[in-house]
Amino acid sequence: MALGTTGESSTMTHEEDDAIAQCVLDTVAGRIPVIVGSGSNSTQTAIAKSKQYAQMGADGLLVVTPYYNKANDTGMIRHFESVADAVDIPITLYNIPGRTGCALAPKVVDRLSRHPNIGSIKEASGDIGYVAKIARYVSDGFALISGNDNMIVPLMSLGGTGVISVFANICPAICKDITNSWLTGDVERAKRLQLDYLTLIDALFIEVNPIPIKEAMNMLDMDVGGCRMPLCEMAEENRAKLRQAMEVLSCASR
């Protein structure tokens, strides 16, 4: 996944977006699928960016709800269908109302799930009741993906297939183990890992993402630097809580 929230795409120029996408695609070199974030509150911009990344070789696109504009249901449908019609690679709907101020109504998800070029939804509302409503539309052609690390197992219990994760930036093996354990039928292991790492996951969201995950990565000597303004360094008391959570739960398997 390139150009997501954790990558601070909201503070990058279009030229930087293109450079990051190209760097990731060149580095991966086809070894695994790459999803690139191409969403915008402007439909025209989302279409242009989607076409650009498709031409670069992206395998899929992540398209967020049109924030700030807060379109009605018809506008949401037209927005996503216009993007999906413009490219020949699958798009993932991104529902994160806490960030965008708007959400995809279940009936809108139902409609969009039938589009041949809309293959999944990244669901990050944190509302398990909402998840249950849209889980009815999961099919061979439409997948449900968790956008919240603290709800991987609950969402998968309703038909989800995995997670687009923040936590995986420091504990990828554990994150993979949670999802694979569920998918292979080891429900108890999946549940145990979800609960064992919940304290660390919660600490990674003690302040707005990606402030804590960048702090955590720097603590692990990954040297990812700080955040772009208006985001800044963590409050000292929160940094101490994050460090304590990381000391209790080992991330040596990263």
Decide the pairing of beta strands 143-146 and 162-163.
Answer: parallel
> Cα(182)–Cα(160) distance, rounded to whole angstroms?
10
Short-list 177, 171, 9, CA closest to 162: 177
DSSP assignment string, 18-75? HHHHHHHHHHHTTSS--EEE---SSHHHHHHHHHHHHHHT-SEEEEE--TTT---HHH
Q: Is 241 part of the annotated catalytic residue set?
A: no
Q: Which of 51, 67, 68, 122 does the annotation list as catalytic? A: 122
Q: Secondary structure of the chain: what % helix, strand, coil (to 5)? A: 50, 10, 35
H or E, element range at 119: strand 118-123
C-alpha span between 246 and 254 (Å, rounded): 13
122 is an active site residue: yes
Q: Of all helices (H) and strands (E), which one includes residue 110?
A: helix 106-113
Cα distance between residue 155 and residue 187, in whole Å? 13
- Among the listed residues 49, 53, 94, 130, the single catalytic one is 94
Q: What residues act catalytically?
A: 94, 122
